[in-house]
Amino acid sequence: MTEAAAATRQAALVYNPIKVDAPALRATVTRLSAAAGWAEPAFYETTVEDLGDGVAREALAAGAATVLVAGGDGTVRAVSEAMDGSGVPLAIVPSGTGNLLARNLKLPLTDPAAMVQAVFDGDTLAMDVGWCRITRPDGDAAEHAFVVMGGIGLDAAMIANTRPQLKKTVGWVAYVDGAARALPGAKPFRVMYQLAGRKLHSTKVQSVLFANCGSLPAGLELIPGASVADGDLDVVIFQPKGLFGWLFVWRRVAWDNSVLRRFRAGRQVLSLRTKDNSVVYTRGAGIELAAQDSHPVQLDGDEFGVATAVRVHVSPGGLLAVVPRGHDTTGL
């Protein structure tokens, strides 16, 4: 790229002013843009009314060559929704408490400058974006994107019961409090669901997750082998029966997936273990699900009200995620 061409390129930073050190981050983007010979960057703050999708569209309309996003998981989700299919790279500057997409992409979590620098000399990964159409009890419907995972049922109730101030103070650990509040009233509910091109199923569940990524904080592997770039969504159906069923769920996620699967001997143990259906995994290009009553829905850890039905599909390779130069993307 010639110096003249570089000078016409502009980076745009979309950031949540509550989640980031705005002056420091703006200064870093300005400094590294100048060092790369790019134009003066543009800055867009999110608000309560605009979580990031609106200002991201403004940045795209203004001709941004790359958009950077800094904020919580909700900010990343909203900006990704606006940028799906745009062909403009998105650089995630880890901020906030969760950083779930950054963790799954194995991006540097404590070095914001590394991700800003990647805008100018890094690589890109074409990753999938999930879309969920949510049908309300009154028949109204709306569609929103997610980049990590969404769900209907107990997982969403847990998020809805998490106290915002506690989450702000202790981060993702606050969800333990939300789980304690949601579990006592948790009751299985019947759903009809169908994966794209598969047969229709009817079963009682506590929760159904549809995921683009598989890793959670604290080293928990909810979905081993999940890929952000395979053109499919991973679906996890939680249907434990009683206390022992929940123990099976915890063992599957915290021990089997997160520990045993990392070692050959552990995988041999798992191959000999009697199967249980407290947690059922499947994969496909999308899923349609309907329930008789309404149940809470979450996307990337944010509440999205209640729904009687959801229709989920994937946009394969719809988002160009910026990664540092030479970043190992195998297994992502």
Going residue by residue through the chain (332 aa), what tens digit of pLDDT does each one get?
556 556 789 999 999 999 999 999 999 999 999 999 999 999 999 999 999 999 999 999 999 999 999 999 999 999 999 999 999 999 999 986 778 999 999 999 999 999 999 999 999 999 999 999 999 999 999 999 999 999 999 888 877 666 555 455 444 443 444 444 555 566 889 999 999 889 999 999 999 999 999 887 666 778 888 899 999 999 999 887 766 666 766 666 665 655 545 656 556 655 555 566 788 889 999 999 999 999 999 999 889 999 999 999 999 999 999 999 999 998 88
Q: In degrees to the nearest 10, what's the CA dihedral of 251, 252, 255, 261?
A: 160
Please state the separation of Cα 324 from the chain's center in Å.
20
Q: In angstroms, rounded to a whole number, what is the distance separating the alpha carbons of residues 133 and 176?
A: 28
Of 215, 217, 216, 237, which is closest to residue 225 (Cα–Cα)? Answer: 215
Please state, in angstroms and as integers, the Cα–Cα distance from residue 186 to each residue in 149, 289, 306, 320, following that order: 21, 19, 15, 39
Model confidence, pTM? 0.88
Identify the CA nearest to 51 among candidates 14, 22, 20: 14
